[in-house]
Amino acid sequence: MIYIGAFIALQVIVLVAYWLMKKNNPQGVLMVAGILMLALSMLLGMHSLSLTETTGTPVFDLFRIIKETFSSNMLRVGLMIMTIGGYVAYMKKIKASDALVYVSMQPLAIFKKFPYIAASIVIPIGQMLFICTPSATGLGLLLVASIFPILVGLGVSRLTAVSVISACTIFDMGPGSANTARAAELVGQNNMLYFVEHQLPLAIPLTILLMIVYYLTNRYFDRKDRQSGRTQPEMVDTKDFKVDIPLIYAILPVLPLFLLIIFSKYVHLFDPPIELDTTTAMFVSLAVSMLFELIRLRSFKAVFVTMKSFWEGMGKVFTNVVTLIVAAEIFSKGLISLGFIDALVEGCTSLGFSGTLVSIVIILILFLAAILMGSGNASFFSFGPLVPSIATKVGMAPVDMILPMQLASSMGRAAS
Distance CA 122, CA 200 (A): 18
- Contacts of residue 214, defined as CB under 8 A and 6 or more positions apart, other chains included, come to 119, 120, 123, 163, 164, 167
Of 138-147, 223-232, 293-302, 395-404, the range with the highest mean pLDDT is 293-302
Distance CA 307, CA 52 (A): 38
336-365 pLDDT per residue, tens: 788 877 777 777 777 777 778 888 888 888
The gap from C-alpha 358 to its chain's centroid, in whole angstroms, comes to: 23
243-267 pLDDT per residue, tens: 788 989 989 888 887 887 788 766 6
56-87 pLDDT per residue, tens: 788 888 888 888 888 877 776 788 888 888 88
The gap from C-alpha 363 to its chain's centroid, in whole angstroms, comes to: 16
Burial label, 122 (beta-carbon count in 10 A; 0-12, 13-18, 19+): buried
DSSP type of residue 234: -
Please report, as a single letter, which amino acid is at residue 86: G
| Residue 290 scores a pLDDT above 90 | yes
Least confident of 76-80, 193-197, 268-272, 328-332: 268-272
Q: How confident is the model at residue 205 (pLDDT cuts 50, 70, 90)?
A: very high
Rounded to the nearest 10 degrees, the angle between the axes of helix 278-297 and helix 255-262 is: 130
Distance CA 97, CA 46 (A): 51
Q: Are 410 and 172 in contact (CB under 8 A)?
A: yes
Confidence (pLDDT) at 32: 92
Of 58-72, 304-318, 322-336, the range with the highest mean pLDDT is 304-318
Prediction pTM value = 0.71
Distance CA 198, CA 140 (A): 25
What is the full DSSP assignment across 96-156? HHHHHHHHHHGGGGGGTT-HHHHHHHHHHHHHHHHHHS--HHHHHHHHHHHHHHHHHHHT-
Mean pLDDT of 237-247: 70
| Residue 233 scores a pLDDT above 60 | no
Confidence (pLDDT) at 301: 92
Q: Report helix, strand or coil for 162.
A: helix
Q: How confident is the model at residue 230 (pLDDT cuts 50, 70, 90)?
A: low
Q: Are 257 and 174 in contact (CB under 8 A)?
A: yes
Distance CA 384, CA 376 (A): 11
Q: In 243-300, which ranges are E strands?
A: none
